[in-house]
Amino acid sequence: MKNTYIYILCLGLLSLGSCSIETEPLTQLTDTNFYTSPEDALTALIGCYDGLQVATGASGTGVPVASEVFSDDCFGGTGNADGYNFAALDEFDISRAPSYVDLFNDNWVAYYKAIYRCNVLLSKMDQIDWGGDDVLRKTYESETRFIRAYTYFEMVRLWGNIPLLTIPSTENIPQALPAEVYAVIAEDLQFAANNLPTIAYDAVDSGRVTKWAAKSLLGRVFLYYTGYYGTSDLAGIVTKTEALSHLEDVIASSGHDLVDDYATLWPAASAASAIDYAGEDNEEIVFSIKHTYTSDYNGNADGNHWLVLFGMREYSYLPYGNGWGVTVNSKLWDAYDDNDTRKSATVISIDDEEIPFDKIDNQREYTGYYNKKYTPMSMLDEEGNTVSAVEQYGVSDFQINQFQDYVVLRYSDVLLMAAELGSGNAQAYFDQVRKRAYKDNFTAITLTPANLLQERHLEFALEGVRYWDLLRQGINTAASTIAETTTLLSGGVPDIKTISEGNIQTTKGLQQIPNTQITLSGGVLIQNTGW
């Protein structure tokens, strides 16, 4: 009988190519004797969460970083002597780095591995003896379907037309239409929203998907799909009224709320302001992807590997750690009112914080600004030397041992999405977010589509949200907003930076399908226009 080695899933998945099969079993578990009990199902579900963690935190080009580089808030930056792969992403122009034909190959592989794990578990639900506990079965199925939906949502936004698999299959199949993928996403999230327990968010184990996370993600998917594709509903599955109802339920019943001080949401911002960090499971976090410091080079990939890209180029200054220098556009800093508490919590300003940064010659596209929400952190060791904060856990590789969680959805997003969808409390929800930002300096402004988009920009800057918010305004709007010609310092020398509106329009904001996957598919996969 063929052995199934749990979690060591060797995939010849569609266009992923083949891999060598283990000649010695790593376990005596098989596909017939494993999926028999709720305990087995939980083990498999943990594997699905692990697949999501690896796909979003430790594979290839970190999508949270790439999403910011695509947007108008960040430049590709990195080292002055580095390759131009991030410039190619930033400028939507592969001619900037023509040898980088596999910019997202590791991401593609990891995404489909995660989906494969989900599809395997879903296919075994009827095989498991649930002991009559239908609630537990639906809970595990809901969590699995949420993970699959989230993964497909990330992929379809990046690439548009992608192969769609809802069963554990290695078939080499053509790309599905986006509407087909979104229909599966919508059905998965609806199932999760309707079947996960109706309990407060803090009654669920940390890191687990909740009913409220499913409802919130459904709102985000609805807004993106209807905006980008110009439809009135989500793939014929979810109406505007239904999407709003889900968000209103989160507001009314989840127990989620805004933290009092915006800066406490972010470890570095809290430390820089000498205030207590609200913690990774605070009341505002609707869903986050968990990370730990236990990554190594022997197969454990639990860390946040992309975080280091946002760090100041090769420079540490308490509480900030060194990194590889994706830079923040000065226009973002200028967009904030000085009375907006989010300004200093979002952006590291070299000049305003009087940081004696001396690595300009090593930095490409220097602006004087870096990401404060997601940055490596530093601390003092026993000798008073500045070292990476990961060393407090006995590890020393700052590149792979970063452990800050990636916050996918916050309660403030729920409020603003509900306002955007036309809640009867829209103005109140809008004001609630702004009151937290401005505190005693709050002055009410009328909720309009333009004001709402601007508020989303200021609230979620550098969190991997802005680019997708722009795309759903329409390609032309996104292109005109992102495009610019400016002068930046590269290696300390003024250099003209151009992001072409036409490139964004040609690609429709979609990214390069890895050439390796096209080759392995025998031409079944078709490259996106412009790449």
Residue 289 lies in a domain: yes
Taking CA atoms, 365 is separated from 133, 326, 380, 395, 490, in Å, by 57, 8, 30, 31, 5
Provide the pLDDT for residue 136.
98
Beta-carbon contacts of residue 46 (< 8 Å; ≥ 6 apart): none
Enter the tokens of residue 469: 């918010």
Q: Rounded distance, CA 329 to CA 74, Å? A: 5
Taking CA atoms, 489 is separated from 330, 359, 363, in Å, by 13, 12, 8
Residue 517 lies in a domain: no
Q: Rounded distance, CA 308 to CA 518, Å? A: 30
Dihedral sign computed on CA atoms, order 77, 78, 82, 86: negative
Which neighbouring-strand residues pair with 407?
A: 288
Residue 324 lies in a domain: yes
Enter the tokens of residue 394: 């006995």
Provide the pLDDT for residue 17.
34
Q: What is the DSSP secondary-structure string of 205-256?
A: -TT---HHHHHHHHHHHHHHHHHHTT-SSBTTTB-HHHHHHHHHHHHHHS--
Q: How many CB atoms lie within 10 A of CB 410?
A: 25
pLDDT tens, residue by residue, 42-82: 999 999 999 999 999 998 999 999 999 999 999 999 999 99
Which neighbouring-strand residues pair with 320?
A: 317, 377
Provide the pLDDT for residue 15.
32
Q: Kindly report the pTM of this predicted structure.
A: 0.93
Q: Rounded distance, CA 459 to CA 441, Å? A: 16
Residue 246 lies in a domain: no
Q: Comparing C-alpha atoms, which of 64, 123, 116, 50 is closest to residue 291?
A: 50
Provide the pLDDT for residue 508.
98
Mean pLDDT, 10 residues at a time, the chain of 531 residues: 31 32 49 88 97 93 97 98 97 97 96 98 97 97 98 98 96 97 98 97 95 98 98 98 98 98 98 97 97 86 94 97 97 98 98 98 98 96 90 86 96 98 98 98 98 98 98 98 98 98 98 97 97 96
Provide the pLDDT for residue 295.
86
Q: Rounded distance, CA 189 to CA 193, Å? A: 6
Residue 29 lies in a domain: no
Residue 351 lies in a domain: yes
Is 380 exposed, middle or buried, given 0-12, 13-18 or 19+ CB atoms closer than 10 A? exposed
* Number of structural domains in the chain: 1
Provide the pLDDT for residue 8.
28
Give the residue numbers spanning the domain of 403. 264-408
Residue 275 lies in a domain: yes
Provide the pLDDT for residue 237.
98
Residue 394 lies in a domain: yes
User: Which helix (H) or strand (E) segment is 417 a member of?
Assistant: helix 411-420
Q: Rounded distance, CA 419 to CA 79, Å? A: 41
Provide the pLDDT for residue 392.
87
